[in-house]
C-alpha cells in the first residue's frame, strides 16, 4: 500500500525542529519563515519630510511613540504625543525605593528598597543582535553593562529531585554532556553507527568525544582529576599543606533524566539569549529617559484617549485631560501614529476599516508577573558564589535572577525573585495575578527559601508587578500565533487612511524593545512615503 505523503504545517515543522534540535534551531527556522526575525535595522529612516507643514499626533509615550516623534520632528514634521500616564516610558519602566503605583483592584504597589537596587517589571535585558536599540543608546548616550544570562554557578532546581537540593547549572550541563558522550562512544565502538560514520570519521569522533565529554581511556564518564578540571572540585586545590584536592562526583544519568533539570537547561538555548547580553547602567528606564530628554516638550501626560476619528484629510483624537480635572479636549492632525496596546485600543471608539477593527480585536495579550525582594546582604555571592545569572526551578517562582551590578558590595541588594510569562503547559501567572501585593511577597519568600534558606534571616522588603492588573496595558505583550499572523498581521500594520499603528505588537519581535523600535521606524518611513507620493 502506498504511503500517504506527510506535508507538515509550519507549526508542526517548527515543533519537530524544536524537539530534535533545540530552541536555537527552531528560532532560526522561524526567522526563515518570517515568524521571528533578527533585527533588520540598518540605520535611521531616511525621511524626506513634509512638502508643506504637516502635523502628526502620536498616541503613547513609550519607546515606539517617542522614537517616532524624535525622527519625525528631525525631518520637519510638527509632532505631539498624548500619554495616558503621568510618566513617559510605557512598559519600559524601573521601580526604585519610594515608588508607588496603584494596580487594578485598588491595591497599592509600594517599593521600600533602602539600598540602590532596582527592579525592571517589563524589559530587563537586551540581546546583542537587537541593533536598533543599541544604535539609539549610542546616539543618545545611554551607557551599557553586561547582563549575565547564564551563570554555571547558578542553580537548576526541582522540588521532587535530589531531596529538593538545587544543582549547579554547570554540573547538570557537563554531566549530561559526559553521559551522552559515553553513550555515543559505546554505539560507535559497537559498530552501531557504521552506516552513518566512515572508519576515519569514527576515530576522529571517538577522539573528540573523549575530550568533549571528559571520558576516561575506556570511554567512560567517571570521576577523575581531568573531570575535576572541567566540572569542579569537592575539595578545591589549595596551597601549602592544605588538604589534597578532590574532584566533584558526577550525577548518574537516570536520576538526572528523571529530575527534569535537563529540560531546564533549554531555557538558555534560545538565539535571543545568546551571550553577550546587556542592560542599561542604572535600570531599563535609562533608555526611555534618554528619548524623553529629546521630545519631552511635545509630550502631554495624563491624557486619556477615548476616541480616534478620521476622514480623508485629517484625524481628530478626543481625550480626557487629567491635568485639568478630566476636561474633554480634542487634538487634530494630518496623521496619527497609535502605539496604544491592542488590549486597550480594542475598547476605544476608533474610526477604521472593518478589517483593521478585527485585527485589533484578534490579538490576546500575554500575562506575566515579577516579584523583587531586597535583602540585607548579597548572600548568593558570599555564601553560594553566584555572581549574576538566573536560577530556574519547577516551583511557581520559575526564575530567580541575580543582579549584575554592585558585585562584592556589603549593603542591601535586590533579587528578581520570581518571574514568568504565560507559557504552554504553565499557568502560574494567573495564580500570582489573583494575589494581593503582600501575598505575592509572602509566596516568593515561602517558595524561595527552598532554594536559598538565607531568605528568612536576610529579608528586608519586597515589591511585585502583574501585567494583567495594569490598566494602561492589560497584559504584557501581544501574543501572536501563526494563524493570527497569517490572517491579521498585514492589515494591522498597514496605513488605514490617516491612521497607522506601531509598537511591539506590530513586529515579528514581540515583547522586545527592538520590536517596538523597528515597528515605529517602519511606520514613519511608510507614512513619509505616503505624504510625498
Q: How far apart are CA 175 and CA 152, in angstroms?
A: 13
Encode pLDDT of 116-161 as tens digits. Answer: 999 999 999 999 999 999 999 999 999 999 999 999 999 999 999 9
Report whether pLDDT(29) > 90.
Answer: no
What's the predicted TM-score (pTM) here? 0.90
What is the reported pLDDT for 425? 53
Residue 30 pLDDT grade (very low, low, confident, very high; cuts 50, 70, 90) = very low
Residues 6+ apart with CB under 8 A from 328: 306, 318, 319, 320, 321
Instruction: Tell me the per-residue pLDDT of 294-326, one tens digit each, with 9 for 90 and over.
Output: 999 999 999 999 999 999 999 999 999 999 999
**How confident is residue 16, by pLDDT bands cut at 50, 70 and 90?**
very low
CATH architecture of 169-254: Up-down Bundle (1.20)
Tell me which residue has cell 546616539.
139
Q: Distance between CA atoms of 72 and 50, rounded to whole angstroms? A: 9
Q: Express as a percent the part of the chain with pLDDT over 90.
A: 86
Question: CATH 3.50.50.60: which residues of the chain?
Answer: 55-87+285-364+477-531
| CATH number for the domain formed by residue range(s) 55-87+285-364+477-531 | 3.50.50.60
Q: What is the mean pLDDT of the chain?
A: 92
- Cβ distance 400 to 375 under 8 Å? no
Q: With 50 as the cut, is the pLDDT of residue 5 above it?
A: no
Dmax of the chain from CA atoms?
Answer: 87
Mean pLDDT of 9-26: 42
- Cell numbers 529530575 correspond to 259
Tell me the pLDDT band of 39, cut-offs 50, 70 and 90. Answer: low
Residues of the chain with CATH 3.90.660.10: 100-127+144-153+275-280+366-469
Nearest to 269 by CA among 11, 510, 21, 40: 21
Delimiting residues of CATH 1.20.1440.240 domain(s) in the chain: 169-254
- CATH number assigned to the domain covering 100-127+144-153+275-280+366-469: 3.90.660.10
Looking at per-residue pLDDT, the higher value among 15 and 86 belongs to 86
Q: Is the pLDDT of residue 34 over 60?
A: no
Q: What is the pLDDT of residue 430?
A: 84
Amino acid at each position: 500500500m502506498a504511503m500517504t505523503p506527510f506535508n507538515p504545517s509550519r507549526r508542526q515543522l517548527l515543533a519537530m525542529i524544536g524537539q530534535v534540535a533545540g530552541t536555537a534551531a527552531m528560532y532560526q527556522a522561524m526567522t526563515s519563515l518570517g515568524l521571528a526575525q533578527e533585527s533588520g535595522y540598518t540605520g535611521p529612516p531616511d525621511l524626506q519630510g513634509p512638502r508643506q507643514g504637516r502635523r502628526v499626533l502620536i498616541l503613547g509615550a513609550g519607546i515606539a511613540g517617542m522614537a517616532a516623534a524624535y525622527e519625525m520632528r528631525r525631518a520637519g514634521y510638527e509632532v505631539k504625543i498624548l500619554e495616558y500616564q503621568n510618566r513617559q516610558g510605557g512598559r519600559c519602566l524601573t521601580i526604585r525605593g519610594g515608588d508607588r503605583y496603584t494596580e487594578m483592584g485598588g491595591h497599592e504597589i509600594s517599593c521600600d528598597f533602602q539600598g540602590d537596587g532596582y527592579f525592571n517589571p517589563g524589559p530587563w535585558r537586551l540581546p546583542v543582535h537587537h541593533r536598533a536599540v543599541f544604535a539609539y543608546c549610542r546616539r543618545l548616550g545611554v551607557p551599557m553593562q553586561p547582563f549575565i544570562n547564564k551563570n554555571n554557578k547558578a542553580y537548576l532546581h526541582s522540588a521532587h529531585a535530589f531531596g529538593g537540593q538545587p544543582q549547579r547549572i554547570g554540573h547538570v550541563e557537563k554531566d549530561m554532556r559526559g553521559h551522552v558522550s559515553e553513550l555515543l562512544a559505546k554505539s560507535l565502538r559497537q559498530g552501531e553507527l557504521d552506516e552513518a560514520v566512515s572508519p576515519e570519521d569514527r576515530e576522529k569522533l571517538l577522539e573528540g568525544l573523549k575530550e568533549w565529554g571528559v571520558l576516561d581511556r575506556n570511554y567512560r564518564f567517571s570521576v577523575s582529576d581531568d573531570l575535576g578540571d572541567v566540572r569542579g572540585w569537592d575539595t578545591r586545590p589549595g596551597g601549602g599543606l592544605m588538604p589534597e584536592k578532590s574532584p566533584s562526583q558526577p550525577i548518574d544519568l537516570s536520576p538526572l533524566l528523571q529530575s527534569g533539570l535537563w529540560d531546564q537547561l533549554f531555557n538558555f538555548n534560545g538565539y535571543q539569549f545568546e551571550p553577550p547580553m546587556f542592560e542599561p547602567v542604572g535600570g531599563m528606564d535609562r533608555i526611555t529617559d534618554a528619548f524623553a530628554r529629546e521630545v519631552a516638550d511635545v509630550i502631554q501626560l495624563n491624557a486619556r484617549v477615548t476616541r480616534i476619528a478620521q476622514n480623508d484629510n485629517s484625524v481628530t483624537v478626543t481625550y480626557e485631560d487629567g491635568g485639568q480635572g478630566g476636561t474633554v479636549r480634542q487634538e487634530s492632525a494630518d496623521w496619527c501614529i497609535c502605539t496604544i496596546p491592542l488590549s486597550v485600543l480594542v475598547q476605544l471608539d476608533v474610526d477604521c476599516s472593518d478589517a483593521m477593527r478585527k485585527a485589533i480585536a484578534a490579538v490576546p495579550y500575554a500575562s506575566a508577573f515579577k516579584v523583587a525582594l531586597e535583602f540585607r546582604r548579597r548572600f548568593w555571592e558570599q555564601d553560594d558564589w553566584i555572581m549574576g545569572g538566573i536560577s530556574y526551578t519547577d516551583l511557581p517562582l520559575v526564575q530567580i535572577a541575580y543582579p549584575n551590578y554592585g558585585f562584592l558590595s556589603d549593603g542591601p541588594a535586590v533579587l528578581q525573585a520570581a518571574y514568568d510569562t504565560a507559557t504552554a503547559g504553565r499557568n502560574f501567572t494567573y495564580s500570582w495575578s489573583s494575589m494581593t501585593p503582600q501575598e505575592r511577597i509572602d509566596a516568593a519568600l515561602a517558595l524561595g527559601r527552598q532554594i536559598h534558606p538565607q531568605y528568612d534571616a536576610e529579608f528586608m522588603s519586597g515589591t511585585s508587578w502583574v501585567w494583567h492588573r495594569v490598566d494602561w496595558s492589560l497584559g504584557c505583550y501581544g501574543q501572536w500565533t501563526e494563524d493570527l499572523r497569517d490572517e491579521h498581521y498585514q492589515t494591522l500594520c498597514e496605513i488605514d487612511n490617516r491612521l497607522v499603528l506601531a509598537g511591539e505588537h506590530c513586529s515579528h519581535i514581540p515583547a522586545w524593545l527592538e520590536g517596538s523600535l523597528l515597528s515605529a521606524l517602519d511606520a514613519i518611513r511608510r507614512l513619509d512615503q505616503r505624504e510625498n507620493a
